[in-house]
Amino acid sequence: MPEEMARHRHVIDTAKSTSALFGFAEMATPIFEFTDVFARPLGESSDVVTKETYSFTDRGGEGLTLRPEGTAGVVRALISAGLTQTLPQKFFYAGPMFRYERPQKGRMRQFHQVGVELLGPREPLADAEVIELGALMLDRLGVLEHCTLHLNSLGDAESRQDYRLALVKYLEGHKSKLSEDSVRRLELNPLRILDSKDEGDRALLAGAPEMSAYLNAASKEHAVRVRACLDEAGVSCIEDPRLVRGLDYYCHTAFEFITDALGAQGTVLGGGRYDGLSETLGGPAVAGVGWAAGVERLALLADTAVSLPEPVVLIALGDGSVSSLAGLAANLRRRGVRAEMPYSGNLGKQMKRADKLNAKCVVIQGSEELERGMVILRDMTDGSQEEVPVARVIELIASRMGRE
């Protein structure tokens, strides 16, 4: 509805304008793609694919899926458009996503995200830049003060493999105590167990090995340089060794801005580096880093009241004045002034309508004023009014509304 839509638009416009400061240009991917675009990178056995995607077969027998997230579609578009030879590419996007989840506050089956993807650079500066972008956007929305940035390094492929072996060895020794979901993940994607919400799993994980102990020299250097760039940019964070991205193409930096301002602790913006995603989708090796943020959650947190501009209300007293004021209203709108005409009612009712609309001024014209080419211009802030020629009223109103 309009009030909620205005808050959503405020979030999206703020994200877009902030992204532009970093050189990110807006693009859009289809709302539905071939199922493989999501199933291949997310994994056929992942929770998103098995439990949450809206997938269907179209009349041509093609498997299609409503997009559950934005990154895979952006990278698919990069490959399809032949842009892998003109890197780096910086993209901003906004739009609806779809997941079959239990609806709750801030979480819906059709929800909206804003996001950025920086494709090409492998340097730590790229990681820091997208995190800084997210922090600045949240700050401009008045949300950053309610959030804490959690940061972790997942290391490169070699580091991740060494850690995976150590984690599996530890969890195998406690397999009987793991939740059903975590037992399944132990075979398919053990790193995802680190993100388990099950209380029993979380108790076991307190004694699990940490990723930081398995980072090789190159991975440690990457993490140190990301942190150094963030420090210089004035972006504070806390190290979170349990913060993971379970998919194999994620590496090095993982991050989330987390808030408890909505009740239960929740992530409002999250992302990371995904250097292997392009290859998973059949493209060449292209490094990538980015984030996505939920518009609904940000709209609930944002402290900015958004409303329509104050209008000029034009009241016609008599049929003859309707067309005259309709033309006047059209000219005002061309000057960038919001102009509204009540459709019916006596002068008293129409003035109440103008007051309810928070009108800055009111133009009144009856048959007598119409004959003389005049209107009554009333200032709603102090109640003063004057009779002015129709030829001058646009100039006077534009001046008062700051539209000279």
402 against 56, higher pLDDT: 56
For residue 177, the tally of other CB atoms under 10 A from its CB is: 13
Residue with tokens 């493989």: 36
- The answer to whether 363 and 325 have CB atoms below 8 angstroms apart is yes
Give the orientation angle of helix 319-334 with respect to helix 390-400, to 10 degrees. 40
309: cis peptide before it, omega within 30°? Answer: no
Residue 136 has pLDDT above 70, yes or no: yes
291 against 42, higher pLDDT: 291
| Confidence band of 137 (pLDDT split at 50, 70, 90) | very high
Mean pLDDT on 155-161 = 91
Residue 402 has pLDDT above 80, yes or no: no
Residue 404 has pLDDT above 50, yes or no: no
What pLDDT shows up at residue 18?
98
Question: Which CATH homologous superfamily contains domain 312-400?
Answer: Anticodon-binding domain (3.40.50.800)
Residue 50 has pLDDT above 70, yes or no: no
Question: Which CATH homologous superfamily contains domain 2-156+216-301?
Answer: Bira Bifunctional Protein; Domain 2 (3.30.930.10)
Mean pLDDT on 307-332 = 92
What pLDDT shows up at residue 306?
66
What pLDDT shows up at residue 305?
67
Q: What is the pLDDT of residues 3-42, one digit of tens each?
A: 889 899 999 999 999 999 999 999 999 999 999 999 887 6
Q: Which two tokens stand for residue 386?
A: 């004057």
Residue (of 402, 331, 404, 403) closest to 363 by Cα position:
331
Residue (of 227, 253, 287, 274) closest to 153 by Cα position:
253
| Confidence band of 105 (pLDDT split at 50, 70, 90) | low
- Give the CA count within 13 Å in the CB-facing half-sphere of 375: 26
Q: Residue 73: CB partners within 8 Å, gap ≥ 6?
A: 29, 30, 33, 37, 67
Q: What is the pLDDT of residues 173-227, one digit of tens each?
A: 998 889 988 898 888 778 888 878 888 998 999 899 999 999 999 999 999 999 9
Q: Which two tokens stand for residue 25?
A: 């240009």
CATH 3.30.930.10 in the chain is located at 2-156+216-301
Pairing mode, strands 251-259 and 287-294: unpaired
| Confidence band of 314 (pLDDT split at 50, 70, 90) | very high
CATH 3.40.50.800 in the chain is located at 312-400
For residue 313, the tally of other CB atoms under 10 A from its CB is: 26
Q: Residue 383: CB partners within 8 Å, gap ≥ 6?
A: none
Pairing mode, strands 361-366 and 312-317: parallel
Residue 45 has pLDDT above 50, yes or no: no
